[in-house]
Each structure stands twice: as structure tokens, then as C-alpha cells.
């Protein structure tokens, strides 16, 4: 919980600073920004966050495990059909490394997903958006000494963010995203695993219009 509070505070401070800088740029007239549309063209988004993971087996009466906090990254690329919509592909990854006493080796648990997703801006002139996606998720456990155990399954995501423009083609965004996958390849019980990611991202767009 302490890591969560620290990250949330840092993101809030970063977003506040970015918003102030953006306002100063506009007020001082350092960059001429056309009024419409606010988004255009090809875009690339890269993000870093604190991912909190849980999983459960379908036949386990205890339900989900405790939250496990560890780094997460996300990359999205796509296009902008109009000022209210962005459509693209997303690659998400979460991992946690630890020492496994049973295997006498270092191990890494990971959750990843490849998704087709969209970002919808309810008010085109605002930076607020909601997003969702569907695709393939992967859960894995790798051991330095020997092998990797993994499975693939259906994955989906939902989230929200707010774009704060730093320049004509660059914006910073606080983000909250939820990713989940369902897996049945390890045996009879189905595994459901999800990650709640809170972080910050940078978006670069090729369009000539401002965010």
C-alpha cells in the first residue's frame, strides 16, 4: 500500500507540473495551436506504472490472492479516425521476480497481453478518455535454472486517462487501467488473473493539430 500511495502522489505531482507548463506555453503564445481538431494522425503511446496483480483458481473457495505490486509497462500504436476516437494495438506487460526456495532458483512471474483497443473522448476538446480492448493474454512463470511454464487465453482491458499537452505533438497522461485474462491450459481448474495498473504515459502524434 505504501508503494501505491507513493506512486499515486508522484504521478499527481508530475501531472500538475505538466498542466502548469502547458498552460504557460499557451498563455505566452510560445506555440501557435490551431483550434480544431484536437487529435489527428498516427500516434504512439508508451507508459510505465505500478501494477497490482491477483489470481485465483476456479475451484478455490478462498478466491483471489492478495494484491502483489510490481512494475508494469504498456505500448500503444494506432490511428485517429476523428477527434473523438483513437483505434490501435496495445502491448501490456507486468512482471515480478523472486527467489523460489522450492526450485532453489530465481523465478519471474509475468502477465502480458496483446490487444486491439480503442480510446473514446466524450468531449473532443477535452483530454479525458475511456478505453477498452480485447485480445490474447499470457500468464507465465520462468525459472533461471530450468524451464518456463506458460499458457495463453482470452484477455480484455478497460481504463481511463487524461491527456495534458506538452507541445503540438506530445502529451502526458495519468492512467488507470485494468487487464484480465482467463487460462485453462495448466489443468482442470481455470485460472483468472488480473492486473490493476496506475501510472503515467507519454503520447506522440504525427498529426499537425494539437491535442
Each residue's pLDDT tens digit, 96-113 = 988 766 655 688 999 999
Find all residues with CB under 8 Å of 194, minimum gap 6, and list them.
53, 54, 55, 178, 179, 180, 181
Domain count, the chain: 1
Closest by Cα among 192, 203, 209 to 57: 192
Q: What is the pTM of this model?
A: 0.79
Determine the Cα angle at 181 with ends 179 and 183, to 5°.
165
Comparing 24-28, 91-95, 202-206, which segment has the lowest mean pLDDT?
A: 24-28
Q: What is the pLDDT of residue 103?
A: 55
Considering the domain boundaries, does residue 105 fall inside one? yes
Domain with 85, as residue range(s), is 2-205
Provide the pLDDT for residue 2: 47
* pLDDT, the chain, mean: 83
Can you list the alpha helix ranges (DSSP code H) found in 75-186? none
CATH number at residue 187: 2.40.160.20
Asked, for residue 210, whether it belongs to a domain, the answer is no
Neighbours of 131 (CB within 10 A): 21
Any domain includes 211: no
Amino acid at each position: 500500500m505504501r508503494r501505491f500511495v507513493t506512486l499515486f502522489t508522484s504521478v499527481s505531482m508530475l501531472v500538475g507540473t505538466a498542466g502548469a507548463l502547458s498552460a504557460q506555453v499557451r498563455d505566452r503564445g510560445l506555440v501557435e495551436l490551431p483550434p480544431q481538431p484536437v487529435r489527428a494522425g498516427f500516434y504512439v503511446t508508451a507508459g510505465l506504472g505500478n501494477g497490482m496483480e491477483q489470481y485465483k483458481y476456479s475451484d478455490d473457495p478462498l478466491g483471489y490472492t492478495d494484491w502483489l505490486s510490481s512494475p508494469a509497462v504498456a505500448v500503444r500504436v494506432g490511428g485517429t479516425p476523428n477527434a473523438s476516437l483513437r483505434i490501435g494495438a496495445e502491448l501490456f506487460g507486468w512482471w515480478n521476480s523472486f527467489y523460489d526456495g522450492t526450485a532453489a532458483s530465481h523465478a519471474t512471474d509475468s502477465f502480458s497481453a496483446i490487444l486491439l483497443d480503442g480510446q473514446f473522448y466524450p468531449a473532443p476538446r477535452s483530454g479525458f478518455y475511456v478505453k477498452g480492448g480485447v485480445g490474447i493474454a499470457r500468464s507465465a512463470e520462468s525459472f533461471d535454472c530450468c524451464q518456463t511454464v506458460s499458457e495463453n487465453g482470452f484477455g480484455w482491458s478497460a481504463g481511463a486517462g487524461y491527456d495534458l499537452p506538452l507541445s503540438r505533438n506530445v502529451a502526458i497522461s495519468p492512467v488507470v487501467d485494468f487487464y484480465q485474462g482467463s487460462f485453462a491450459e495448466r489443468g482442470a481448474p481455470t485460472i483468472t488473473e488480473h492486473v490493476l495498473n496506475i501510472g503515467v504515459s507519454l503520447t506522440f502524434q504525427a498529426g499537425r493539430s494539437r491535442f
